[in-house]
Amino acid sequence: MRKLLALLTLFMAGQAYGQISKAGQAGAKFLSLPYSVRGESMGGAFTAVGDDPSVIFYNPAGTALITQKALYFVAGNWWGNYVSGISYVTPTKKGNLSIFVSGVYVGGIEAYELTSDADIIYKGTIAYMASQVGFGYSTFLTDKFAFGVDLKLIYEGFGGYSTAYSIAMDAGTYYHVGFGDLVIASSFRHFGFDLKPSGTYVRYEYDNGLVENVVSYTSYKLPTVFNLGISGSLYSNSYSRLRGSFEIVHPVDNLEYYVVGLEYSILNMVFIRTGYKIYTNEKEAVNGANGLNFGLGIRYGRFALDYGYYMKGIMPSVNQLSILYNF
């Protein structure tokens, strides 16, 4: 079993690094939005850090660290788009089970129709909706090594004109190296079937006159991504702790980049977080992707409240809020 998991991890890494990293090579980009306020406040360097239900959106192996039932909810407005997610984890004697759903709603999109006479007709407004829903399993195979996997259904709806579905999986590992609280973790996410919008449309072409061709929509890939992270305490005493995290991220549809994150906790009740993404080629990086992220968190009893503020370069900043409850 251990050899099989090791081979699977190497296979996932090889598959991810073998892809061509160019913008526009994948769709369903709502999957790339952050659904963990704590994680995104650290710049996304969360693969080797997460130990709450929100980690299911980064590394399903991290849910193995959860020792009691927990429910998580996140919501925010992403440049006028509504982004939200829910996850729930319950421990069992044979491993931890989780369910989750997340998605985005974009309303008020103006729709136009091009006729054969080259007229443009206004068709009103439509809405784009997309979501993922899935369930996962994670467990410690040894006292230091955990493995997790989830299976999910992905949906995109294009204002009543077309829909697209896909089935995908996420897999991850979590390894405590035995030196202090140093952890190495990896995840491989959104690996599945291509999405293909339903229906057909009319494509006008000129070939000795106007020709109307009824064609199907083109399929597109999922935004597969491979993460490799390391985290550990940089400083700690009986009152406070400073945790650092570093991560390498290799998406199929963009440049490889690095993430540095910090989380400072006081009495395990108040949390201050920050993170930054470092691109290998700034000129080719997508504008607005850079910028510092910040976050604040408060834990009291069974509840935890987290707030994230993300700077997006030339784009407007983003705010997110999440609530966690431990049963």
Amino acid at position 308, single letter: G
Residue the block writes with tokens 């991560």 = 247
Amino acid at position 98, single letter: S
CB 231 within 8 A of CB 254: no
CB 323 within 8 A of CB 37: no
Domain range list for the chain: 2-326
Which of helix, strand or coil describes residue 45?
A: coil
How many CA atoms within 13 Å lie on the side-chain side of 81? 18
Show the tokens assigned to 61: 């192996």
Least Cα distance to 122 among 109, 131, 139, 137 occurs for 109
Residue the block writes with tokens 């590992």 = 173
Rounded Cα distance between 182 and 319, Å, is 30
Query: In a 10 Å sphere around its CB, with 0-12 CB exposed, 13-18 middle and 19+ buried, how is residue 95 labelled?
Result: middle
Would you tell me how many other CB atoms lie within 10 Å of the CB of residue 307? 18
Q: What is the mean pLDDT of the chain?
A: 87
Show the tokens assigned to 45: 């360097």
**CA torsion through residues 48, 52, 58, 62, sign:** positive
* Residue 18 pLDDT exceeds 50: no
Show the tokens assigned to 37: 């306020």
pLDDT band at 123 (very low <50, low <70, confident <90, very high): confident
Pick the more confident residue, 106 or 204. Answer: 106
Options 1.10.3720.10, 1.10.490.10, 2.40.160.60, 2.60.120.470; CATH of 2-326: 2.40.160.60
* Residue 20 pLDDT exceeds 70: no
Pick the more confident residue, 154 or 160. Answer: 154
Q: State the pTM of this model.
A: 0.85
Rounded Cα distance between 119 and 99, Å, is 48
* Residue-wise pLDDT tens digits, 58-103: 999 999 999 999 999 999 988 888 999 999 999 999 999 999 999 9
CB 270 within 8 A of CB 307: no
CB 56 within 8 A of CB 65: no
